[in-house]
């Protein structure tokens, strides 16, 4: 018997308009496909998080943290749990320059809320004359999601500048401060649990010429437009194997343009899957599995998905 149904009803009674019962996950994911969650809660305060914790913790009701959905695939059958999304109140970005400039004139701290969009953070840090996060302009996700998967690109990643994060555990409470070292960040990985929600992240950045940072951002945007597809996708589907490229292996296996139902391997970049408007999440999952099988047979390499796939094994 589902635990999420009663929990969803209780949350709706307690939190009112912040809760949507039977919420479609498709509009919340960049694939734009997938089923519903028992409930979606849009959070604007720690008190709301505590209310969610009080409902879900005792029975360990499944929870799902949703940011921009740029790395998320929810099955057509949906997610039998409570989806939680930080609201705009957690999207603030601020710069804290050292009070004693004689200590280190070149460093500053940037604080970004968990729902802050990574491209926005990249542009705001550049405008403030700080370097280190320009690469994030090409990641269509939130800071919270970026920390969870140690997002990266163009030779850098979250771990390179992260100091610490404020985390709320929906099963055990919080907020608590977790240092970058404690997160055990590695390639597209952190040790954050499914019940952990990143409320804020603190970064150490270096001073720079704002115009140089803006120029670098423009170059990254141009490169991504030239080399990566738009449309309904979730970015890179697979992590790159050591000393190789997942896109190269998929292309070499002859899978560019390969289609299963409403999902297709991009003809522009083989490590992207495009979902048709009104398409099926299950088709995307089937195509991911097909790619894995063909590449393994062709090259002996087991590709590991970056995408979080939810609800397929319920």
On whether the CB atoms of residues 41 and 16 are closer than 8 A, the answer is: no
Nearest Cα residue to 262 out of 245, 247, 243, 282: 282
What is the extent of the structural domain holding 73?
4-86
Both 108 and 207 in one domain: the answer is yes
List per-residue pLDDT tens for the chain, 314 residues long.
Answer: 477 999 999 999 999 999 999 999 999 999 999 999 999 999 999 999 999 999 999 999 999 999 999 999 999 999 999 999 999 999 999 998 765 444 445 689 999 999 999 999 999 999 999 999 999 999 999 999 999 999 999 999 999 999 999 999 999 988 999 999 999 999 999 999 999 999 999 999 999 999 999 999 999 999 999 999 999 999 999 999 999 999 999 999 999 999 999 999 999 999 999 999 999 999 999 999 999 999 999 999 999 999 999 999 75
Both 184 and 71 in one domain: the answer is no
Both 95 and 222 in one domain: the answer is yes
CATH of residue 123:
3.30.465.10
With vertex at residue 27, the alpha carbon angle to CA 23 and CA 30, rounded to the nearest 5 degrees, is 135
Taking the CA of residue 260 as centre, how many other CA atoms within 13 Å lie in the half-sphere pointing to its CB? 14
Domain ends where: 226, 245, 280?
226
- Just list the catalytic residues: 188, 236, 306
Both 105 and 45 in one domain: the answer is no
Both 217 and 101 in one domain: the answer is yes
Domain ends where: 86, 105, 132?
86
Domain count, the chain: 3
> Whole-prediction pTM value?
0.91
Both 113 and 222 in one domain: the answer is yes
CATH of residue 61:
3.30.43.10
């Amino acid at each position: 018997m589902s635990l999420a149904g009663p929990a969803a009803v209780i949350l709706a009674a307690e939190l009112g308009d912040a809760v949507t019962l039977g919420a479609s996950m498709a509009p919340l994911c960049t694939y734009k496909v997938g089923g519903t969650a028992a409930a979606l809660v849009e959070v604007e305060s720690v008190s709301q998080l505590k209310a969610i914790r009080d409902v879900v913790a005792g029975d360990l009701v499944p929870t799902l943290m949703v940011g921009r959905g740029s790395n998320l695939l929810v099955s057509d059958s949906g997610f039998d749990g409570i989806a939680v999304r930080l609201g705009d109140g957690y999207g603030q970005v601020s710069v804290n320059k050292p009070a004693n400039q004689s200590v280190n004139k070149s460093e500053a701290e940037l604080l970004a809320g968990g729902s802050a969009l990574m491209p926005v953070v990249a542009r705001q840090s550049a405008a403030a004359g700080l370097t280190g996060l320009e690469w994030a302009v090409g990641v269509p996700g939130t800071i919270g999601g970026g920390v969870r998967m140690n997002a990266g690109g163009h030779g850098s990643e979250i771990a390179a500048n992260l100091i610490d994060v404020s985390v709320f555990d929906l099963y055990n409470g919080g907020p608590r401060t977790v240092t970058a070292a404690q997160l055990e960040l590695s390639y597209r990985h952190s040790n954050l649990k499914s019940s952990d929600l990143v409320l804020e992240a603190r970064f150490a950045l270096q001073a720079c010429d704002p115009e140089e940072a803006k120029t670098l951002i423009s170059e990254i945007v141009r490169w991504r437009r030239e080399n990566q597809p738009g449309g309904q996708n979730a970015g890179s589907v697979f992590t790159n194997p050591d000393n190789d490229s997942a896109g190269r292996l998929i292309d070499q296996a002859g899978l560019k343009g390969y289609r299963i139902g409403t999902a297709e391997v991009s003809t522009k970049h083989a490590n992207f899957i495009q979902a048709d408007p009104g398409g099926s999440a299950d088709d995307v999952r089937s195509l991911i599995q097909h790619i894995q099988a063909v590449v393994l047979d062709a090259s002996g390499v087991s590709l590991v998905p970056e995408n979080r796939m939810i609800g397929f094994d319920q």
